[in-house]
Amino acid sequence: MAQGNQSVQDQQSNTTAASHAKSSRKSAAKTASKTTRKSAPSKVFTARLESRKDELERLFSSLYSDHDQFDALIEAMAAAYADRPADLKRLDKTREADPEWYKRGDMFGMTMYTDLFAGDLKKLAEKIPYLKEQKLTYLHLMPLLTMPHPNNDGGYAVEDFDTVDPKLGTNEDLAELAKKLRRAGISLCIDFVMNHTASTHRWAKAAQAGDPEYQDYYFCYDDRTVPDEYDAHVPQVFPNTAPGNFSWNEQMGKWVMTQFYPFQWDLNYRNPKVLVAMLSSVMHLANLGVEVFRIDAVPYIWKQLGTNCRNLPEVHTIVRMLRIVLECVCPAVVLKGEVVMAPKELAAYFGTPEAPECHMLYNVSIMVNLWSALASRDVRLLKAQIDKLNALPDNCWFVNYLRCHDDIGWGLDEDVERELGIDPLKHKEFLYHFYEGAVPGSWSMGELYNYDEATRDARSCGTTASLCGVEKAIITHDKPLYETSVKRDLLMHQAVGFLRGFPMLNCGDEIGQLNGWDYKEDPDRVEDSRNLHRSKFDWDKAALRKKSGTLQNRLFKGMAEVREERHDPCFAPDAWVSTWDTFNDAVLAVVRKVEGETLIGLFNFSEHDQHAHLNASEGILDAPLDADLEPYEARFVQL
């Protein structure tokens, strides 16, 4: 990458930072060298590498002409394997014999912030009995690596990819938690932020101090010539709250690419040192016991002038290399991609059966379409989206969810909307105003996020219970609304649990936790409305899950019923799954079939009684099926 002349404002600071960076590099090299000398290469590791090395080298060479860095990657892999604890190597062996373990019907996940749920990692470990009570098999902890405070984008601005944030604990705490979770049958997932670092990362600090080596870890320019060329083609991620794709750094005297926020510097993967360093960090975290990595913002990681810098072929080359590295060093580990793109872009992130990439993806589009169906009482868009995802190859697998740490971005399929006679912009405006409670008849209590007056685009925030009407019913003492809202909440979870893939709860949804409006009183949090659904877990409310008739009891039991339903043989990984016409736009039908057994899920997305009719089809439905459904009823029919 072309770099301009350095602008140095503080020579002493520059010298100190550069010296520190060199010292750090020497220390890291010494440690790596010492590690690789510990023992001869393992036969197991050697065999895994030999079967994949040619492809890995070919992929690496397609991006870089740097044999030394390829050798550095192989050395880092050997060192990571040598350092891998014995119990994790045993897990590797088990998973190699059962490579589709994450597709089992009994998979059931939860995502949470460590500090909001328990305070820190040690205290979270003490709460494992609560997780076991829910028969979880998968726990996704939101970003927990060292981050600046308070500006860290919920932890997605990372200062150190190898170290747990001191506010949450230590690396030893993370390893101990992972071990205890494994004993409880729960796989640990954490985020790995591939696209950027915090502006306070040691690489960024060295770059700001004038070190050209570390300026080449990012995209740094003396003037606006190249940034303007990028901006001509690259859309803005947050045009309202963080406009532009570049930020001026006064200390460095350069423009730096910051597609997300000014304090998040985009990494330059054209530099092989960046790739090797980041892959080394993934292996290090895997050796602490992490079993699943949610790779954040992966479509953005490769930049090319003249393109929109999204979904470029080089992205897939890098993800494929990451997959190969993990298969060699720690094959128990799987990759979950965060790909907020159209369905036509998704299949590529799974790779092919011969050259796989991600094991699974976040099912963002279904989440959005579920909320759209609930507000509009119309399942046609949802059905169309499910059909598109079910049509993807068998190697495509999804984590299905209703809410997570993020907003609901109304990225519906506009072509399908138009085919159905729906105006995309008017429908989007209806949805985000509906979920902020600004549409007549709305039951919801949420907030807008990132409203853009120019494009009339906006996203929505709020907890599942509050968006489904529970909060409004409690405030207004409206018992009929309360009962209906609980049914809505349960319907949404029952629907998400029936789809292809496995369900993941947002922590607190199992007890109907409401919005945390107190974020408005915190100056460090008030500017981000996503904090509305990022509040501390209410353990007093959780205690009510055992008291019959309470909101917490009803929802907790409802989640248990979702889990029990998934023990049916029709939730086997190879089950045939399809939607079915109900001749009623308010009712979704999904058919699951394995040899000799068929299971039908019927979901009424309206507050009125509805009738559904399903036509017969040879080999699937031997006879027509008719059903009368109560408001917001989910019914399962075994054939």
| pLDDT attached to residue 482 | 98
Number of neighbours of residue 82 by Cβ within 10 angstroms: 17
Query: What is the pLDDT at residue 343?
Result: 72
- Which pLDDT value is given to residue 188? 98
pLDDT, residue 238, reads 84
Q: Taking each helix axis as running N to C, give the angle between helix 380-390 and helix 343-350, from 0 to 180 degrees, rounded to the nearest 10.
A: 30
Q: Give the integer Cα–Cα distance in Å for 308 and 232.
A: 9
126 backbone dihedrals φ, ψ, rounded to 5° = -70, -20
pLDDT in tens, 503-549: 999 999 999 999 999 999 999 899 999 999 999 999 999 999 999 99
Rg (CA), the chain: 25
Say how far apart CA 142 and CA 299 lie, in whole Å: 20
pLDDT at res. 342: 74
Q: Which residue has the higher pLDDT, 619 or 37?
A: 619
- Domain 42-192+273-362 sits in CATH 3.20.20.80: yes
- Mean per-residue pLDDT, 354-373: 96
User: H/E/C letters for each residue in 313-374?
Assistant: HHHHHHHHHHHHHHHHHCCCCEEEECCCCCHHHHHHHHECCCCECCCEEECHHHHHHHHHHH
| Fold match between domain 42-192+273-362 and domain 196-266 | no
Least confident piece of the model among 24-28, 257-261, 614-618: 24-28
Domain 196-266 has CATH 3.90.400.10: yes
Kindly state the average pLDDT of the residues 51-80: 98
pLDDT of residue 39: 56
Q: Which residue has the tokens 């072929």?
A: 313
Cβ atoms of 570 and 593 closer than 8 Å: yes
* H or E segment to which residue 391 belongs: none
Read off the pLDDT band of 408 (50, 70, 90): very high
Sequence-distant (6+) residues with CB within 8 A of 123 are: none
462-482 average pLDDT score: 98
Cα–Cα distance, 638 to 602 (Å, whole number): 11
Contact in structure between 567 and 498 (CB atoms under 8 Å): no
Question: Which residues are tagged catalytic?
Answer: 296, 338
- The Cα–Cα gap between 467 and 272 comes to 45
**Can you tell me the distance from the alpha carbon of 383 to that of 495, in angstroms, rounded to the nearest whole number?**
12
Question: Between 618 and 182, where is the model more confident?
Answer: 182
Contact 410, 435 (CB under 8 A): no
Does 3 have pLDDT greater than 50?
A: no
The 10s digit of each residue's pLDDT in 286-323 is: 999 999 999 999 999 999 999 999 999 999 999 999 99
Q: What is the pLDDT of residue 240?
A: 76
Segment 20-26 mean pLDDT: 40
pLDDT band at 239 (very low <50, low <70, confident <90, very high): confident
Sign of the CA dihedral running 167, 169, 174, 180: negative
For residue 40, what pLDDT is reported?
Answer: 65
Q: Is the pLDDT of residue 272 over 70?
A: yes
Domain extents for the chain? Answer: 42-192+273-362, 196-266
For residue 72, is pLDDT > 70?
yes
Element (H, E) at 575: none
